[in-house]
Structures are given as structure tokens and as C-alpha cells.
Amino acid sequence: MSKTIIVSNRLPVKITEENGTLSFIPSEGGLATGLGSIYKEGNNIWLGWPGINIEDLAKQNEIREQLKAMNLIPIFLDEEEIKRYYEGFSNEVLWPIFHYLSTYANYDYQNWLSYVQVNQKFADAILSSLEPGDTVWVHDYQLLLVPGLVRLKQPEVSIAFFNHIPFPSQELFRLIPWRKELLLGMLGADLIGFHTFDDVRHFLSAATHLLSIHTDANRLRVENRIVLAEPFPMGMDSDKFSKLGANPEVIEHINSFRQNFEGKRIILSIDRLDYSKGIIQRLNAFELLLEKNSEYIEKIILYMIVVPSRDTVPQYKLLKDEIDRLVGNINARFRTFEWHPIAYFYHGYPIEIISALYNIADVCLVTPMRDGMNLVSKEYVASRNDNTGVLILSELAGASKELNDALLVNPNNISEIRKALITALNMPEEEMRERMKAMRNVVFKFNIKHWVKIFMNRLEDVKRIQRNSMAN
């Protein structure tokens, strides 16, 4: 029976070690949570980094065995590879450029070489698991070269690639010294998926301008092969978040949060630590609200969870310090003896707590400066079984294209975010329910299963189109 080989930088479980004991915990981030529901099907496998640096071969084998039972295959990275491929190239060149922050990019040739070498390592691991009829599905910006490297050895294999972050305008993309190699790597796939139509447009424009590739609508001719680039807005496991509302543990958390916050309205903010998430601007908007609208003093709480991420990368360290300072200032400036405006947590939390927070939050404030999709906004909507709650969403998140019943804001416009907060806190119940219902229809209809299905069906279509074009 043929299988799908899912490949991403991170496995959907992360391994940690304390006093020689290994524990396996779910990874953060949209990709791991999004595809977590499907990789266990049939004899599919998932290849990726287990998030821990283990040099001891015996221990590596022990981990390999344990993961095998979960259909997972680990690709171990050493310290140098983590520093150069993951932190250095993926997160200091591709991440900032793809999120339009070119001044944060640090072009280092040694980091590029490491990116090439680690992408080859992933490609080799795929090739050794590959059997006739298998499909390879590569994910995200850390592995842009992998489709091309696999294609080189297996010209006929079905390869799909999905980019989970925005694809920038070609004017930005062309700044990368190795832009042609990156594009050629992606073009090794048969189907290249993005979250939005704008990402597709930017990719097609980069391929035409930088590689002079012939495109016809969303079809690219790469030597004698046809490649398709298309938008597939990613869904999430909406049923899972909806059902969590009835989980006894979640209900217990809901009750205790309600008791603690009695009489207060909750504004929820949940992100990984990242400068693309607009956390500073969000805090500025909240401060402006307290400054201009003293009627909200002691009436609202910003419940802000920042999940630690990439904190060894310099820009992330700076951001963490800036958030700490700003939260400290706002709390010191506005707090009273009975109340402090921001409950700030620098920590990851289990899904039961996150679900309880989604359930008690009157407003969910999601204002990234750029985001491929943003699954937090969809998780909030899926959790609101009673159709209440207001979502404030950045127009620069991919999710804004689908969730247009949210209050859409420009994340740089502090005063607009303040006004949206006032609108949200005073929204008539009927309007709130209407908006939430419309958004729930979207997240339940276009869920993760639907996303995987249409993506895989489209991959079959591409293969058919390729066969027909060879026959003609």
C-alpha cells in the first residue's frame, strides 16, 4: 500500500530531557497542530527534527524506536546545524524576508551552506523511505530545496510543497543572494501551495522575473514538466476545539477563570514570541485605550500569552526584552490596588487551558504585522459554541481573507486597534452572534480534513495534466 511521506523541519512532537528521562510533548505552531490530526492515517509517515540535540548514538536509536511506533522518523541535527541552518538561515534570512522585514536579514554564506547540507540530509532520509507509488509532501520555508533534491534522484515521483508563511513580493525575495537556487528547489515539486492568492501571485512573478520561466495563469513550465502554483487556505481541526468546550478538565478551568475574573471583560492575546505577530503594537494600542478611556480602568484585562520560540535568535531576544519592559510600564502606570491591566505569561500551555481561555475571552485580539494564515483566530472561532465573542483580526493575516466578519484592522494603526477594542467591548449581542455564526460556518466547512483532501486531489490533477501534456 502506497503512503504519503510528510516532511517538515519539526516533528509534531518535541522531545525534552530532564535528568536523563525523555518526554514527548506536542510541538507549538500551526503546522504541527494543523497536520497533527492526519499523519497517523494508513501507513503514512512524518519525517522531521525532534527538537532536541542528542549526539549519543545509542540514545538516538532509542528515540528512533519510540518514535517509529507513532509513524514518526527523526532527523537529528547537531549544534552547528541548529545554529546555522535553523537559526541562521531559516530564521535570520528567510523568516524576516518572507515577513517583509528585510532589515532584520543577516546573509551569511556559511549559514547558506549549512541550509543546503541539511536540506540534502532531509532529501536523503526521504529517498531511503520512498517506495514506488508514494507521495512526498514537503512543508515550509526551512526545506525549500528539498523538492528539487528529491526530484533529481526520482524524476517521476509525486511531490507537493506547501509554504506556511507568506511568500513576499519578488522585489523583496530578490534581495536573497541565493534566490534562484531557492526557487529552483521549490519548482522540483509538482504542486506548490500557498495560503492566499497574493502569495501565489508573488511566487509566479518571482519565477518569471528571476528565472524567466514561462507561466500560463498559474501553470509554470519547468523544462518539460508542468508545475501548478495555487492557493489552499489552511483550515484547522474545528471539531476538536468545539468538543473541548465539553471536556471536564476544560470546564474546571473555565469555572476557575470566571471566578478569578468576575466582573471583568477579558481580551485574549496568544502568540509565539515573534516580531511578525505585532505584539508591541498591540500593547501600544491597549495602553492608548487605558489612557484615553478611563472608563475601562478596573473593567478589562488583557490576558497575554507569549509562547517562547527561537529565543536564541538575536531579534527574538530583543523583542522579549521590549515586551517585558512595555508590560511592566503599562502595569505600573495603570494598576490599582485591586487590579492590574495585563496578565502576561511567557510560557506554553496545554490545550485544555488554551481552550478554557478561548471560551472565557470576550474579545480575541490577533494583530500580526504579517502572517501566512494564523490559526489562533480560527481556533478562537471554533471554540465559541454559543456564537458569542468578538474577533479583532489583522488584515495582513491570511485568515482575514476568509474571516471577513471579524473586526479587521491595520496592525500598524494603533488608534484603529483602540477603536476596534471599543467596538468589540460594546458590540450589540445580535451583531456579535451574526458575525460569529458566519465565521464558524467558514472554519467548520473548510477544516483541516477538507484542506488535506483538496490539496491531495489537486496533486492527482497535476499528475494527470502532466501525463496529458506528454501525450500531446
Give the binding site for ligand F6P (CB under 6 A): 9-10, 28-32, 140, 164-165, 309-310
- Could you tell me whether strands 214-216 and 219-222 are parallel, antiparallel, or unpaired per DSSP bridges? antiparallel
Q: At its nearest, how many Å lie between ligand F6P and the CB of residue 140?
A: 4
Q: Calculate the alpha carbon distances from 36 to 18, 32, 431, 449 in Å.
A: 25, 6, 34, 11
Distance CA 465, CA 225 (A): 10
- Could you tell me whether strands 225-231 and 219-222 are parallel, antiparallel, or unpaired per DSSP bridges? antiparallel
DSSP reduced 3-state for 259: helix
Contacts 24+ apart (CB under 8 A), 345-350: 345/304, 345/305, 345/306, 346/273, 346/306, 346/308, 346/320, 347/305, 347/307, 347/308, 348/28, 348/307, 348/308, 349/305
Under 8 Å between Cβ of 119 and 146: yes
Q: At its nearest, how many Å lie between ligand F6P and the CB of residue 364?
A: 19
Alpha helices in 169-237 (DSSP H): 170-173, 179-186, 197-211
Q: Which is nearer to ligand F6P, 251 or 307 (CB)?
A: 307
Q: At its nearest, how many Å lie between ligand F6P and the CB of residue 448?
A: 13
Q: Which is nearer to ligand F6P, 359 or 377 (CB)?
A: 377
Closest CA to 7 of 157, 159, 112: 159
Q: Which is nearer to ligand F6P, 202 or 435 (CB)?
A: 202
For residue 24, the surrounding DSSP H or E stretch is strand 21-26
Q: Which is nearer to ligand F6P, 235 or 389 (CB)?
A: 235
Residue 267 β-bridge partners: 302, 363
Q: At its nearest, how many Å lie between ligand F6P and the CB of residue 90?
A: 7
Q: Which is nearer to ligand F6P, 78 or 252 (CB)?
A: 78
Q: Which is nearer to ligand F6P, 167 or 296 (CB)?
A: 167
Q: Which is nearer to ligand F6P, 10 or 151 (CB)?
A: 10
Q: At its nearest, how many Å lie between ligand F6P and the CB of residue 267?
A: 24
Burial 442-455 (b: 16+ CB within 10 A, else e): bbeebbbeebbeeb
Closest CA to 355 of 231, 268, 448, 457: 268
Q: Which is nearer to ligand F6P, 10 or 84 (CB)?
A: 10
Cβ-closest position to ligand F6P: 29
Q: At its nearest, how many Å lie between ligand F6P and the CB of residue 50?
A: 12
Q: At its nearest, how many Å lie between ligand F6P and the CB of residue 446?
A: 18
Sequence length of the chain is 472
Q: At its nearest, how many Å lie between ligand F6P and the CB of residue 168?
A: 15
Distance CA 232, CA 458 (A): 10
